[in-house]
Homo-oligomer: A and B are copies of this chain.
Amino acid sequence: MRIGELSRLTGASVRSLRYYEEQGLLRPLRRPSGYREYREEDAATVRGIRLLLAAGLSTTTIGEVLPCMVDDGEMLAPACGGMIPDLLRERERLSAAAADLLAARDRLDAILATTSALDPVDPSECEAIAPAT
């Protein structure tokens, strides 16, 4: 199939598909005209790429992990254990990032807690300190 159809199948923009190729994540064949020719499995690969991207992995990391995965009909499945350390590292990263966000939220909560004590809005003071226009 050509790039437009793969785009429709996967929801990835044409630009994104070319970008994934540029990053070494896809390797479509080329017609004599130069047109990219994709295989059926590439749809699964693209879905896998997008899943991992959404998980916060960089294309570089995905490139290290992807060669160890195979088309599982619908989705991408792992084909060997070599990628496990990478994925575990990413798992760690995700946990840590989420923890950071929650910690930040707690700090916001702390601020909000102090604020509720003076709920009666007192904008006068704000004006006094407000930055220049």
Classify the secondary structure of A's interface with B: helix
- Against B, the Cβ 8 Å flags (1 = close, 0 = not) of A93-108 are 0110110111011011
Of the four ranges (under 10, 10 to 19, 20 to 34, 35 or more), the interface on chain A belongs to: 35 or more
A112 touches B84 (CB 8 A): yes
What distance in Å separates the Cβ of A109 from its nearest Cβ neighbour in chain B? Answer: 7
- Interface flag for A68 (CB, 8 Å): yes
A81 touches B118 (CB 8 A): yes
A residues sitting closer than 8 Å to B (CB atoms) are: 24-25, 27, 51, 54-56, 63, 66-68, 70, 76-84, 87-88, 90-91, 94-95, 97-98, 100-102, 104-105, 107-109, 111-112, 114-116, 118-123, 125-126, 129-132
